Structure formats: structure tokens, C-alpha cells
Amino acid sequence: MLDLDTPLGKVVGTRTAKAMAEELELHTVRDLVRHYPSRYARRGEMTRFTDLEVGDRVTVLGQVRKVDTRPMRNRRGSLTEVTVGDGDGSMRLVFFNHRHARLEVGAWGLFAGTVGSWHGQLQFSHPDCQVLDEATDAEEWATAMLPIYPASKSVSSWVVQKSLKLVLGDPAAAEQLLAADPVPAQVRARHGLMSLARAIWLKHHPETPDDVEQADHRLKWDEALVLQVTLAARRRAAALEPGIARPRRTGGLADAVDAALPFELTAGQREVGEALAAEIGREQPMHRLLQGEVGSGKTVVALRAMAQVVDAGGQAALLAPTEVLAAQHARGIGALLGPLGRAGEIDGDPAGTRVTLLTGSLRAAARRAALAEVADGRAGIVVGTHALLSEGVDFADLGLVVVDEQHRFGVEQRDRLRAKGTRPPHVLVMTATPIPRTVAMTVYGDLETLTLRQLPAGRGGVSSSVVPVAEKPAWLDRAWARVREEVAAGRQAYVVCPRIGDDEGKGATEGPDGPDPGDGAPPETAQTSDRRPPLAVLDVAEALASGPLAGLRVEVLHGRLTPEEKDARMRAFATREVDVLVATTVIEVGVDVPNATVMVVMDADRFGVSQLHQLRGRVARGKHPGLCLLVSELSTSSSTGTRLAQVASTTDGFELARLDLETRREGDVLGAAQSGRRSGVKLLSLLHDEELIAAARTEAAALLETDLGLAAHPELAAAVASLNAGDRADWLERA
């Protein structure tokens, strides 16, 4: 008897099953029925040939218009050329020494292959063909919506379709196979949802677009509910495990920090600070996401919370995404605390603590010393990178974990650090990338959000402009002139490039910490192959130093430098020994040099929206207004050009976050494997399904309220368990 766990080897031939497993990650009947069509073809409104792009692997439906076989000129053998088309376009198929017997003028067929081009016309060479049998199927497929499945090299769309026929022969078979419905009946009734079996059946055999829409709606509910139950369960489990209360104490480090601050806290900083202080003072472990614009002053908020924990006898760890940022934080905190941060040293204040930097690039002796301070509790504040997560890093009493620039860290990593406390520590996650509500409800669903809306007073603000070099070449000269003007006025500049240069194809790495996620990361936008390679730091720096910026002190910074070199160059920039820093996105997050006022982003179209927003957050961090110039060779009317203009026209983080979401696929946002397999999210859209996600969140909380183990809903419990099997919460990694 067939069930959802039946391996596909028992349903289709061994070879097909093997190919399905290897190429499409389809292993069981469950996987197969959830392998949804990517679209539906209908006769009369068929594939838009005009939408196809070279390199796409696609399946198209078309009618044979012309067949022409002739001997080849320079070689032996023959060439068969077939033209297929629909209303608004045509495509050329070529076959060498081969003629598909049933490809006759007038025949309809499905053709699958990789789109190539020949004299400006789209073509497939040696496509897979499935000529449709009009005599037998005419009635059915002439009106129906023909599902087109994501296919692979050896598993075509029609093989998928035939295989599905074997497991979902008719609606009754679907009812039997899919009787267990993860969405509880009351929830279905409340939201007017069809059964799982009906939805899956319709998804594969729709008659109208409305069928597809209804099926999608129901299947999205599946995805949203399972996700939300998982997150709600996490929140509850975390809330039930007691931590240690670290109430605020007067006359300690926290008061000393406040006294040492060179500025007044903003009202927002004070307010958020009070909320955090109260929660850290309670036994129930805090789980907070602090969201605040670039430059809103999150670091000091975190430092005050860390000081409170130190005053209560615990340790605080600050986790940064890059070594550059970790070193900067350690230095900044050390400078602010002064002698209070050097307890145990000759000039240290014995009433203070130690600020210890722990990164992967420390030499063995320094690492041993740092580890010892962490283990015996002398280090009250430990700043580090991923290295903090590794084995062998033991804390005497970890009371608070602060994760800076959250989008680089996932749930899993948070958990690893959390596990280093004897009891669960308080957790504060900080992000400058504004998070749309849907993402907050999913990716960060186990955290409650706090927001810092206000920027410290007296900020100049950043204005941004696009420099379209193809259309306005003179503007680039003007950009370099602006850089010179700023430097002449005592300010500094960044020039950002997508690539390091010199040694192509090699990702930049940052010491033993492994790849620096802020460097050499593939730009988020699609690249077309006919464009020149992206501009490189090394080339641009050289050209600038000997050209438009001659005479200025130009230095480069990228992930291929050793951590010491990087640190030295960052320091040199911070102390104004360098005027212009030409860098990769290593400077993307957190880097804080208030005297820098201009940023020129080369090939700006190769960066994603949130990357650009992060990048420009590096300027105008002091009292001087900032300028960010987005240089692009793309036309201002192209879609990417328009996107750049939108980025330039707003600094509203939430608007940008939405724009960002539009340009990325859901899978990327959820950090899932490309197929969406691991996240279980295939249809749900974080951009468009806000209401549905919110409703599912409410339902999830209600279900768990009365029934934490989901005893009354075994189907839902099973779906949650299967999502969380294996890599556990890995699917929420890296937004």
C-alpha cells in the first residue's frame, strides 16, 4: 500500500527514482506530491517566448510551424531545424543527425532544454520533446491548464507528470493518500480552507486559475502554520527555562559607563535601556531583537546592558560578524571604560573588569591568555567573532549574549552561544537592517522586537545620488572632485568595489575564522554574462591614486589581508592617516569613523538593497552631512537602475526593507536550500502573505496555549517534527 513515506523507487523505475533523488531531491511520495508545477501552460495563451532568456532551463509548449532537414556544410551528417511557436513568438530547435519522428508541422508539443541563441533568435539544441497526442488527449489538454514542473537534465516535466499519475490517479486516491491533514479542522473551518488532499489534487490538476489560487492559499497555510508552531514552541520552551536575574546595581560599572559617555543619550536609547535593564533584572531569560537604523547608537545601549550584568557578577559576550568589527568594538569599549576596563593591569581600576577580544586569528599564547580570562571570569566583557562559538571557549558565568548585526547570525549560532551559560543567559540581538513585519514574524519569530527610531541629534544625514556613467560620464569626474573637496575640508572618503581583484574567482577569507561573510560575497543581483567583470579594489585604488585622486593618501582594505593588516589599516583610517579607503564590503557593517563623509560605491547595481543601505550608513556618523554616490553603468531606465534610484531617494529603512524583499527570493530570506525543501516553504511569500502569516501566528499561539505537546493534533505535530528533524533550526540561518 502506498503512503507518503513510500520511497519513489517503489513507484517509478529505479533509474528514474535515482535521477529524481539526485537531481530534484525527490525521495518519497511525499516529496513528489509536494513538487508543485512552476507554472501552467494553456493553449492559446502559451509560453511567452519573448520572456525567455539565454541560459534558462525551461519547458515550453508550442506548435511546430516548419521542419527543414538538410546536409551540413562542413561536416558529414544532417541538420534538422524545427521552428515552433505560439501566438507571439517562435523558437528554433536544432537536431544533428536526428529527426524526431512525430515532429510534423501542426503538431503540438512540449520542448525542454537550455535556452541558447543563434543569430539573435532563441534556440534549443537537442531539446527533449514530448509531442502531444491530439487524437487521444486533444479534448483534455486543449482546454486544461497543463502543469509544467521544475525539471532537470534527465527528469523532464512530463516524466514528473506521469509519475504523479501513479500516486494521484484520481481525487479519491488523493483523499486516501493525504487523509492526514496538518491543519486542524477548526482552523480550516475558521479560515475557509479546503482539505489538504483537495488542495494537492487541484494544484496538480487545475481547471481554472482560480483553482490554483485556492489551492495555493490552502497550501501556504500549511507552510505558515508549521513554521509558526515551531517558532511559538521555541518561545515557550525558552520562557520556561529559568535563567539568572541580573538586576541593576548603583555605584558600579554601569554608572561609570554612563558618567564616561561623551554625549547625552537620546530619549530612545534611554527608553530601550530601561526596558532591557528591567528584563535582565528578571529570572526569565530575555530574548530581544533591537532594531535600529544605522547610526542610531545601538552599541552604547548594548554596553550599558553588559555593564549591568558585570555589576551583577556575570559576564557578557558581544558577538560581531567580522574581525574588523569585533576589533573596533573591543577598542571602542576599552577606550570608553578606560582604567575600568583594565582591572588587573598596573594602571587598571580594581573595581572594574576586563574587556577581552577573542577572535580566530589570535596567536596561540594570546588565545590561551584570553581563554583563561574568559574561563575564570576576569573578563567581564568578551568581544569576539564566530570564534566565541567554538569548543573550548568556556565562560565562568555567562549572563548576557549580545549579537551585533544580526543578519549574519542564525538561530543555530545563537543557540550555541546560549548553551555556554550554566543557565540560559539573556539574549540581545541587534540589527540595523530594518525588518519587515513578516520577516520579524518568521525568521526572527522567537524574538520580541524593540525599536530605536531616533538618530542622535546633530546628525547631518546622508544624501544619495545615482551616477549613471553611461549616460552622464562627466558626473563621475564630478564625484572624484567632491571627494577631493571633502578631503580638503578635513574629511575622509570610502570607495567601495564589488571585488578584490588580482586573483580572480577566489573568495576572500579572513584568517582561521573562515570566510568573512562581509567580503567577496556574491552580489545579490543577477549578472548577465555579456557585462564586463565587476570593478576591483586593487585596480580602482591604483587608477585613483595615479589619476583623479593623485596626491591623496589612498589605502585599500579587503578580506584577503591578514587580520593584523586589516586592523592596522582600519586604525590608520580612524586616526586620519589615510584620506580615502578603497574597500570591499568588509566595511559594510558597523564600521564607525565619524569623520568619513563621502562614499562612492562603484558598480552599485551589483549590490543588494540592504547592502547599499548598510554601506551608506558608514558615512555621516558625525556632525557633518554625508554623501553617498551610487555609480552604475546600467541605464537609469533598466529595472536595476530604477531600483538604485529608489535606494537613493529614501532612507526610510522600512521602505528599503520592502524593496529588498522584492528583489530577493523567499528562499534566500529564509536561508533555505534553493529548492525550499528544508524550510518547507515553497509557496509562502514573505512579501505578499503578511495577513496569512499573521493569522497563522495567532492560530499557532492558540493551539499551543492549551496543548503544548500538540497531543490533540498529531498530524500537525508530525509536520513540525519532520521540519525540525536533521539540521534542526538550521533553516532559519542567515537572513
The distance of closest approach from Cβ of residue 405 to ligand ADP in the complex, given in angstroms and rounded to an integer, is 8
Taking CB under 5 A as the rule, does residue 243 contact Mg ion? Answer: no
Interface with ligand ADP (CB under 6 A), residue from 100, 298, 418, 616: 298
Contact 659, 524 (CB under 8 A): no
Cβ contacts of residue 163 below 8 Å, gap of 6+? 8, 11, 12, 16, 20, 32
Per residue, the 3-state secondary structure of 410-445, as one string, reads CHHHHHHHHCCCCCCCEEEEEECCCCCHHHHHHCCC
Return d(Cα 232, Cα 120) in angstroms, integer: 54
The residues, any chain, with a CB within 8 Å of residue 651's CB and separated by 6 or more, are 461, 462, 464, 613
552 binds, among ligand ADP, Mg ion, none (CB under 5 to 8 A by kind): none
- The one segment of 183-191, 295-303, 418-426, 719-727 that binds ligand ADP by CB under 6 A: 295-303
Instruction: Mark the segment that binds ligand ADP (CB under 6 A) among 60-68, 186-194, 212-220, 262-270.
Output: 262-270
In whole angstroms, give the CA distance from residue 728 to residue 470: 48
Query: Cβ of residue 517: shortest distance to ligand ADP, in angstroms?
Result: 17
Interface with ligand ADP, residue 252, by CB under 6 A: no
| Residue number with CB closer to ligand ADP (295 or 517) | 295
Phi, then psi, of 446 in degrees rounded to 5: -95, 5
Amino acid at 87: G
Task: Rank residues 436 and 590 by Cβ distance to Mg ion and give the closer one.
Answer: 590
DSSP β-bridge partners for residue 468:
632
Binds ligand ADP by CB under 6 A, chosen from 3, 81, 349, 592: 592
Task: Spell out the residues 6+ positions from residue 426 whose beta carbon is closer than 8 angstroms to its own.
Answer: 243, 246, 279, 280, 285, 286, 287, 309, 399, 400, 401
> What x-and-dash track marks residues 212-251 binding ligand ADP by CB under 6 A?
----------------------------------------
Q: What is the CA radius of gyration of the chain?
A: 29
Q: Please, which contacts does 538-543 make with residues 24 or more away whose CB atoms are closer than 8 Å?
A: 538/500, 538/501, 538/502, 539/501, 540/495, 540/497, 540/582, 540/602, 541/495, 541/582
Minimum distance of ligand ADP from residue 282's CB (angstroms) = 25
Choose the stretch contacting Mg ion; rule: CB under 5 A; options: 131-139, 465-473, 590-598, 670-678. 590-598
Stretch in the footprint of Mg ion (CB under 5 A) among 25-33, 125-133, 451-459, 588-596: 588-596
Our CB check for Mg ion shows the closer of 334 and 590 to be 590
Q: Which is nearer to Mg ion, 410 or 590 (CB)?
A: 590
Which of Mg ion, ligand ADP, none sits in contact with 269, Cβ below 5 to 8 A by type?
A: ligand ADP
Q: How far is the CB of 266 from ligand ADP (least distance, A)?
A: 5
DSSP reduced 3-state for 85: strand
Q: Which is nearer to ligand ADP, 339 or 594 (CB)?
A: 594
Residue nearest to Mg ion (CB): 590
Tell me if 594 contacts ligand ADP by CB under 6 A.
yes
Is residue 63 within 8 A of residue 108, CB to CB? The reply is yes
**Smallest distance from the beta carbon of 321 to ligand ADP, in angstroms?**
12
State in angstroms the smallest separation of the CB of 295 from ligand ADP. Answer: 5
Q: Binding to ligand ADP (CB under 6 A): which residues in 440-479?
A: 456
Residue 294 binding result from ligand ADP, Mg ion, none, given CB thresholds of 5 to 8 Å by partner type: ligand ADP
The residue number with the shortest CB distance to ligand ADP is 297
d(C-alpha 707, C-alpha 713), whole Å: 9
Shortest reach from residue 261's CB to ligand ADP, in Å: 8
| Candidate list 4, 79, 265, 375; residue touching ligand ADP; CB under 6 A | 265
Taking CA atoms, 29 is separated from 4, 5, 159, 227, 673, in Å, by 5, 6, 14, 22, 20
Binding of Mg ion by 590 (CB under 5 A): yes
Q: Does 319 bind ligand ADP (CB under 6 A)?
A: no
Q: Which is nearer to Mg ion, 468 or 590 (CB)?
A: 590
Residue pair 599/616 in contact (Cβ under 8 Å)? The answer is: yes
Q: Indicate which single residue of 37, 285, 292, 334 sits in contact with ligand ADP (rule: CB under 6 A).
A: 292
In the complex, minimum distance from the CB of residue 416 to ligand ADP, in angstroms, rounded to a whole number: 23
Cα 712 to its chain centre, rounded Å, is: 35
Q: Is 614 in the site for ligand ADP (CB under 6 A)?
A: no
Residue range at the interface with Mg ion (CB under 5 A); choices 12-20, 217-225, 258-266, 584-592 = 584-592
Asked if 580 contacts 488 with a C-beta cutoff of 8 angstroms, the reply is no
User: Is there a contact between 528 and 595 (Cβ–Cβ < 8 Å)?
Assistant: no
Does residue 432 bind ligand ADP (CB under 6 A)?
yes
The answer to whether residue 291 forms part of the interface with ligand ADP (CB under 6 A) is no
CB closer to ligand ADP, 295 vs 520: 295
Q: Which three-class secondary structure state does DSSP give residue 52?
A: coil
89-96/78-86 β-pairing? antiparallel
Contact status: 626 vs ligand ADP (CB under 6 A): no
Q: Are 437 and 690 in contact (CB under 8 A)?
A: yes
Q: Which is nearer to Mg ion, 326 or 393 (CB)?
A: 326
Stretch that binds Mg ion, among 145-153, 226-234, 417-425, 585-593 (CB under 5 A): 585-593
Q: Give the shortest CB-590-to-Mg ion separation in angstroms.
A: 4
Residue 213 interacting entry, from Mg ion, ligand ADP, none, C-beta within 5 to 8 Å by type? none
Q: In 3D, which of 92, 380, 407 has the Cα closest to residue 246? A: 380
Kindly tell me which of 214 and 296 has the beta carbon lying closer to ligand ADP.
296
Provide, rounded to whole angstroms, the least separation between the CB of residue 268 and ligand ADP.
9
Distance of CA 321 to the CA centre of its chain: 14
Helices of type H across 556-652: 563-574, 609-616, 639-649
Q: Which residue type sits at 575?
A: T
Binding site partner of 361, from ligand ADP, Mg ion, none, Cβ cut-off 5-8 A by kind: none
With beta carbons less than 8 A apart as the criterion, state whether 454 and 266 touch.
yes
In whole angstroms, give the CA distance from residue 400 to residue 254: 14
Give 140's contacts (C-beta < 8 A, 6+ positions apart): none
User: By CB under 6 A, is residue 621 in contact with ligand ADP?
Assistant: yes
Closest distance between ligand ADP and the C-beta of residue 347, in Å? 24
Q: How many residues bind ligand ADP (CB under 6 A)?
A: 19
Least distance (Å) between residue 430 CB and ligand ADP = 7
Q: How far apart are the first and last CA of the chain?
A: 41
**Distance in Å, CB of 85 to ligand ADP, minimum:** 55
Q: Rank residues 520 and 590 by Cβ distance to Mg ion and give the closer one.
A: 590
3-state secondary structure of 302: helix
User: Binding residues for Mg ion, per CB under 5 A?
Assistant: 590
The binding site for ligand ADP (CB under 6 A) comprises 263-266, 269, 292, 294-300, 432, 456, 590, 592, 594, 621
